[in-house]
Structure 1
Amino acid sequence: MSGPNPRRRRPCSGSCPTASPCPNALTGGELLTYWGLLRGMDAAVVRSRAIELMRILELDEAEERGVLVIEYSTGMRKKIGLATALLHAPKVLVLDEPFEAVDPVSARVLRAMLLRFVAAGGSVVISSHVMSLVEGLCDRVAVIAEGQVVANGTLAEVRGGSTLEDVFVRLVGDRGVGEEDLLWLAT
């Protein structure tokens, strides 16, 4: 079978799903090395990028102590997932709830990384139920209900004169607590 050399190809996307399945009996650095080499990246490039990503994402101390990914907190797992998605310098990132379980300081770092990625020509697709996050990061949005896109466009177009949360609830359906529900909590 002939075709382009897989070592020279670079996948155009990287993803970080909420429950990112990965070999978790490795340290973060070992995991990044594994993914980089699996993608056909040069070992020296993988090492350099892994060190930089681990430092920026504040995972370097865990690496120095030999902490395995299985022992990472949820926020640390989210960060190592983002590092694996970024390692090969994709053009598109697909992130599911990227700020879930991430502390405010790390969230600021992640936001800066994503803004730099976009400024360099990359695109980020974020799936989130946190509408304030979407409003703060995204310029285009789509609201999906029961697998169907029920609204899409620029943030301003979809929001209209309301908040994105109000629009989302209106489109998806308000399943809130009625006045007669949970009265026992008031006693």
Structure 2
Amino acid sequence: MLKIEHLTKTYGGKPAVQDLCLHIRPGELCAFIGHNGAGKTTTLKCCCGIQQFDAGEIYVDGISVRDDPLECKRRLAYLPDDPQLYDYMTGIQYLDFIADIFGVSAAQRAQRIRQYGDAFGLTPDLAQSIGAYSHGMKQKLAIIAALLHEPKLILMDEPFVGLDPLASHQLKTQMKAFCAQGGAIFFSTHVLEVAEKLCDRVAILRKGQLVREGAMEQVRGDDTLEEVFLELEDTGEAL
């Protein structure tokens, strides 16, 4: 579903991501972890066509992000770490706006908005102005918007930030259901306990380089994910 081949991205001559190769298949839920500045957000932005890259190729459902970024964007959803919403809109106006962009029919959007709005407890607040929303409510709205057009791939940057325990649980449930239906999710997180319990795969980035990747049980071994991550950070070990 997502194929990253030798991705390299530099800023002012300084590499942010170096020769990154990673494949995520349909049905897989993959955590992307690393310290601040490791290159996780840069990688995610390259994958969804927001950020241009210097070398390599990225494919979404077999489509090249470099050659056909628009078609790739139709097949994926991206949830940034700080979603920029339109405060002057109501929640329902924003969701209708997103549904219009992706050509979601009136019947489909009504059903999905009700489904996800109820799941995240946001339905009663959709008539309110987004400017009156808390950070957590805005995060919920952005998640619902990401699910509206039924993408095949979801990219998320720290999706659990700002969510209360109930909303966090609801998001985990939706993520599992999405992948169980054949979708794929690739998300960055600093909450290693969540990654360890939720994901079947993990990729660890250090200074723009992939230092460990694979099935969660294989990468973790007899240790916790936190122990593995800290050991890699201390030793600077690479693949």
Counterpart of 2:121 in structure 1 is 58
- Residue 114 of structure 1 aligns to which amino acid in structure 2? M
Q: Deviations over 1:50-94 (max 9, x none)?
A: 23222221111212xx32222211211111111111000011111
2:199 counterpart (129, 133, 138): 138
Would you tell me which structure has more strand in proportion to its own residues? Answer: 2
The alpha carbon displacement at 1:10 in A equals 8.3
Q: Percent sequence identity over matched residues?
A: 33
User: Which whole-Å CA distance do the structure 1 matches of 2:106 and 2:76 have between them?
Assistant: 20
- Residue 88 of structure 2 aligns to which amino acid in structure 1? A
> Residues 37 and 46 of structure 1 are in contact (CA less than 8 Å); yes or no, is this contact kept in structure 2?
no
- Residue 73 of structure 1 aligns to which amino acid in structure 2? S
Moved over 4 A (4+): none
Matches within 5 A, 1:1-187: 11-63=74-126, 66-173=127-234
User: Which whole-Å CA distance do the structure 2 matches of 1:154 and 1:48 have between them?
Assistant: 35
- Residue 224 of structure 2 aligns to which amino acid in structure 1? T
The alpha carbon displacement at 1:13 in A equals 0.8
| Structure number, greater radius of gyration | 1
Q: Deviations over 1:105-147 (max 9, x none)?
A: 2222111111111111111112101110100111110011111
User: Which whole-Å CA distance do the structure 1 matches of 2:132 and 2:197 have between them?
Assistant: 32
Would you tell me which structure has more helix in proportion to its own residues? Answer: 1
User: Which whole-Å CA distance do the structure 1 matches of 2:106 and 2:100 have between them?
Assistant: 7
Secondary structure (helix, strand or coil) at the match of 2:151 reads coil
> Residues 33 and 50 of structure 1 are in contact (CA less than 8 Å); yes or no, is this contact kept in structure 2?
no
Secondary structure (helix, strand or coil) at the match of 2:98 reads helix
The alpha carbon displacement at 1:169 in A equals 1.4
User: Which whole-Å CA distance do the structure 2 matches of 1:92 and 1:124 have between them?
Assistant: 6
Give the unaligned 5+ runs of structure 1.
1-8, 175-187
> Residues 29 and 54 of structure 1 are in contact (CA less than 8 Å); yes or no, is this contact kept in structure 2?
no
User: Which whole-Å CA distance do the structure 2 matches of 1:173 and 1:10 have between them?
Assistant: 37
Counterpart of 2:45 in structure 1 is none
The alpha carbon displacement at 1:24 in A equals 2.6
Compute the TM-score of the two structures, normalised by the length of structure 1.
Answer: 0.81
Compute the TM-score of the two structures, normalised by the length of structure 2.
Answer: 0.64
**Structure with the larger RCO, 1 or 2 (CA within 8 Å, 6+ apart):** 2
Q: Deviations over 1:2-45 (max 9, x none)?
A: xxxxxxx9821111111112323211111110001011222332
User: Which whole-Å CA distance do the structure 1 matches of 2:117 and 2:87 have between them?
Assistant: 16
Q: Deviations over 1:149-177 (max 9, x none)?
A: 11111111211221111111121239xxx
Counterpart of 2:31 in structure 1 is none
